[in-house]
Amino acid sequence: MLSYRVVGIGNPLRGDDAIGCRVISELEQCNLPETIDLIDLGADSFALLELLTDIEKIVLVDAVLMEQAPGGIIRLADEEFLKQTNQMDCFLHHNNLGQILQLAAAMGTLPKVVFFGIQAVGFDPGQKLSPPLERQLPHLLKLIREEIGCPDNKAGQQTCPSSDKATKNAFGTK
């Protein structure tokens, strides 16, 4: 059984919406343990249901629209995240994410859930990440690495050296 699954959500062709995909791309440079799975989900939150089985914890990463400064990061876990997905309209791809997670809970397959959201600036087609998100990317990666047990060392470098570990999309292929 896998321990952790990190799932990046977003569209890599739409500015800050690419943050989830970018996080997965950065994490695949780490030599992560076999118990950690990296998935680039894209924008299809319905595909998430099949990714909730056989893991201890799922870490979701996406751009959000909140009342925060550009690049502001939130961390929500378990019931707090479920409550937020049902009460707020800040999750870009998650019109039904709360329902998907509630369905998984009813089926007995819901693992621990941690969500990292970062306040987006723009979603224009063909744009790169905005400067505030680029500046916050190292901090976001640090938070996620700590969550999955792969923290920075004291020199500020990853404890995970570069590797050829392939990232899978939601359908199991790169």
pLDDT, residue 97, reads 72
CATH fit for domain 2-169, picks 3.40.50.1450, 3.10.129.10, 1.20.1050.10, 3.40.50.2300 = 3.40.50.1450
List the chain domain ranges: 2-169
Per-residue pLDDT tens digits for 110-149: 899 999 999 999 888 888 999 999 999 999 999 999 999 8
Q: 42: left (phi > 0), else alpha (psi -120 to 50), else beta?
A: left
> 3-state DSSP call for residue 85?
helix
pLDDT band at 8; cut points 50, 70, 90: very high
At 62-82, the pLDDT tens digits run 998 888 899 999 999 987 777
Per-residue pLDDT reduced to its tens digit, 15-61 = 999 999 999 999 999 888 999 999 999 877 778 888 988 899 999 99
What average pLDDT does the segment 145-160 reach?
A: 66
Amino acid (1-letter code) at residue 147: E
31: how many CB neighbours lie within 10 A of its CB? Answer: 14
